Structure 1
Amino acid sequence: MRSTLRKTVLTLTAVAVGIGAGTVATPAQAATQKADAGCVTGKKLLPSCGVLWGGAAGGFTGKPRDLEHRNWEKLSGRTATIFHTYHKGNEPFPTKAEIAMTNESANPRVLLTNWKVEYGTTWAAVARGEQDKRIDAFAARAKAYGKDFFLALNHEPENDVKPRAGSGMEAKDYAAMYRHTIQRLRAKGATNVINVVALMGNEKWMAQSWWKDLYPGDDVVDWIGLDSYSSVEKGYHYGDFATLLDRKAKGKNALGFYDWAVTKHAGKPLMIAEWGAYHQVGRKTDKSAVYNDVVAQLKKRPEIKAIVHFDTKKDDQGNRDISINSSAKSLASFRKLAANPIFNVKLG
């Protein structure tokens, strides 16, 4: 009896302190070890579990993005691990402010930046190599930065398509621009750039014959992104969080955006690169129905690995409020969402 008890104690002790290195853990032990380790990002910033939480604040205000991001974090009650910014053309980035934001050990963050590499020219011109100097300069800055970060090339390209032969801005030109830019960045050694193709998932655009031509190819896409919003007032795009994921062109064989991504491009992680709930400026319509739906939808849709809220009191059209604090009830619901442990993901 004593001998059996001693063996049991020694075995439990060995497991607890890690004695017996090199042995294969049982499935139960492996699950326990994973739970103890927590959710953490790995290759291509993919979380081992959970969902990355992000924010884009200060849009259309002219205020510094870093300051607005910190203010938004305080308002929401959680550090927004993904810090979302926007650049175009020859603007030098990562900027000093972006580097500082992603160097804060007390508030770990990773950069997501949108870049209109073709600014001042066309997608076709970039694909022909006419902006290689611009791409190479960015590659050098990215390598000097050293950390992995997300890059979206010309997010929401549907708005910029000119479906006219020779325009240089056809959907196929976007795909060619994207391929050329990513291939050149890789050739220049900027392997810390994790790219995101950020589309709109708008049923109007998904119905266009050219929409399918936008996708650059799985070999040059790391993450698939979606920029999509829901109205909390009846009318255009009224609905909850699920509705912004499932918009589709009319037709019995059409797929909603999420289903399109996971069916046509299986294995690609999905990022909701911009999302939010909106109502007319000046009103205080409650947004809780959208916020309360988020976690349930994420649990149903395991390929969504990151969500990034876009926050502004007035959008580019000037009439939509996408802020989380347009009413006290909305803010309370959003803070409850932000506190959910599904977003407890550490940067590896």
Structure 2
Amino acid sequence: MILKSTLRKTVLTLTALAAGFAGAVTGTPAQAATQAADTGCKTGAKLVPTCGVLWGGAAGGFTSAPRDQALKTWENASGRTAAIFHQYHKGNEPFPTKAEIAMTQDSARPRVLLENWKIAYGTTWAAVAKGQQDKRIDAFAARAKAYGKQFFLALNHEPENDVVARAGSGMEAKDFAAMYRHTILRLRAQGVSNVINVVAYMGNEKWMAQSWWKDLYPGDDVVDWVGLDSYVSVEKGYYHYGNFASLLDRKAKGGTLGWYDWATTKHAGKPVMVAEWGAYHRVGRTTDKSAAYNSVLNELKKRPAIKAIVHFDTKHDDEGDRDISIDSSKSSLAAFRKLAANPIFDVKLG
């Protein structure tokens, strides 16, 4: 009788736990976010959060403002520290820089670096793949090991825009894949274990329709995260009008898979980083961005592979005609602050 009673209590306890777990994964986005925070979300292997989503930012783009100060200003405006500090470098530029390192040593505002590196600057992807820039790679390897902390590295983000689809150009899609593989394998051979790499696509329907697009991917064995740089317009009728789902689901005309589905189907198990995102309107045509910001949380709940989102903030893009700032209107900033405050982003850096 004692054995049966104990067994019955055990079954009831397990049933209650199972019900609780089921509720945890089927609740509202707000409940899911709160539950994620309660479990103590933190980064684990390859900086992948155990739960929740890493929050990041890049600020001061296309201006002369020091990027560290620009990010701090953006953080104050948004109300949350950017767990990921996104920076850009090319060629032989030495990085992480002193300013970048200092940003990751602030105990009150913990951050991890996302370094974008156009390693082939001044040469070609094919040249890098052939070992002609090994000194450049080795110099970076030494700096990375000396830094010691884990950080993200995106090699030549948005490669689609740099492809020269001509035999022998050295900048074909297959050359990008070869460059990427060579760089990561050489870093590993140099004993670099704290660099977590991200292959960051544009996810644009024009490029996804190209016959060479599939040749860009370097291989699951050398890719840690699959990334996306994508934006939406908040002006009806203007280029890429939409919401957060829109920037994740673009696909080639006649294609069957949007970008997110491509990443999670073709490269299942890889964490996804939205390495650049934002909502824009044309400069001087102030339009409310609230709807775009308000759409983010529901999409994150539906797309569990997304483990990090990094906002790119600027008053004008590289073409000078698009405002991607969070504070272009009071209502836009209020909506963005509400998004930033959500506990789904309460991920502790391990």
Q: TM-score, normalised by structure 2?
A: 0.90
Q: Of 272, 291, 298, which residue of structure 2 is paired with 1:270?
A: 272
Gaps of 5+ in 1: 1-25
Conserved? CA contact 2:300–2:306, under 8 Å: yes
Write the distance in 2 (CA, Å) between the matches of 1:27 and 1:48.
20
The reply to whether residue 141 of structure 1 matches residue 143 of structure 2 is yes
Conserved? CA contact 2:37–2:346, under 8 Å: no
Write the distance in 1 (CA, Å) between the matches of 2:36 and 2:155.
34
For 1:45, the equivalent position in structure 2 comes to: 47
Q: Of 185, 193, 196, which residue of structure 1 is paired with 2:195?
A: 193
For 2:256, the equivalent position in structure 1 comes to: 254
Q: Of 112, 124, 128, which residue of structure 1 is paired with 2:114?
A: 112
Count of equivalent residues: 324
Does the residue aligned with 2:326 lie in a helix, a strand or coil?
coil
For 2:69, the equivalent position in structure 1 comes to: 67
Report the Cα offset of residue 250 of structure 1: 1.1
For 1:333, the equivalent position in structure 2 comes to: 335
Does the residue aligned with 1:346 lie in a helix, a strand or coil?
coil
Conserved? CA contact 2:36–2:343, under 8 Å: no
Report the Cα offset of residue 236 of structure 1: 1.4
The reply to whether residue 180 of structure 1 matches residue 186 of structure 2 is no
- Deviation sequence 1:187-227 (CA, Å, 0-9, x none): 10111000000000000000000000000000000000000
Q: Of 236, 245, 267, which residue of structure 2 is paired with 1:242?
A: 245
Q: Quick one: which amino acid aligns to residue 152 of structure 2?
A: F
Q: Quick one: which amino acid aligns to residue 246 of structure 2?
A: T
TM-align CA RMSD: 2.0
The reply to whether residue 343 of structure 1 matches residue 330 of structure 2 is no
Write the distance in 2 (CA, Å) between the matches of 1:312 and 1:323.
5
Q: Quick one: which amino acid aligns to residue 307 of structure 1?
A: I
Gaps of 5+ in 2: 1-15, 25-34
Does the residue aligned with 1:273 lie in a helix, a strand or coil?
strand
Does the residue aligned with 2:251 lie in a helix, a strand or coil?
coil
Write the distance in 2 (CA, Å) between the matches of 1:67 and 1:123.
33
Write the distance in 2 (CA, Å) between the matches of 1:180 and 1:254.
32
Conserved? CA contact 2:126–2:179, under 8 Å: yes
Report the Cα offset of residue 284 of structure 1: 1.5
The reply to whether residue 319 of structure 1 matches residue 321 of structure 2 is yes
Tell me the percent identity.
79
Write the distance in 1 (CA, Å) between the matches of 2:203 and 2:184.
23
Report the Cα offset of residue 254 of structure 1: 2.4
Runs of 4+ in 1 over 2 A off after TM superposition: 30-37
Write the distance in 2 (CA, Å) between the matches of 1:37 and 1:250.
42
Report the Cα offset of residue 34 of structure 1: 8.7
Q: Quick one: which amino acid aligns to residue 260 of structure 2?
A: Y
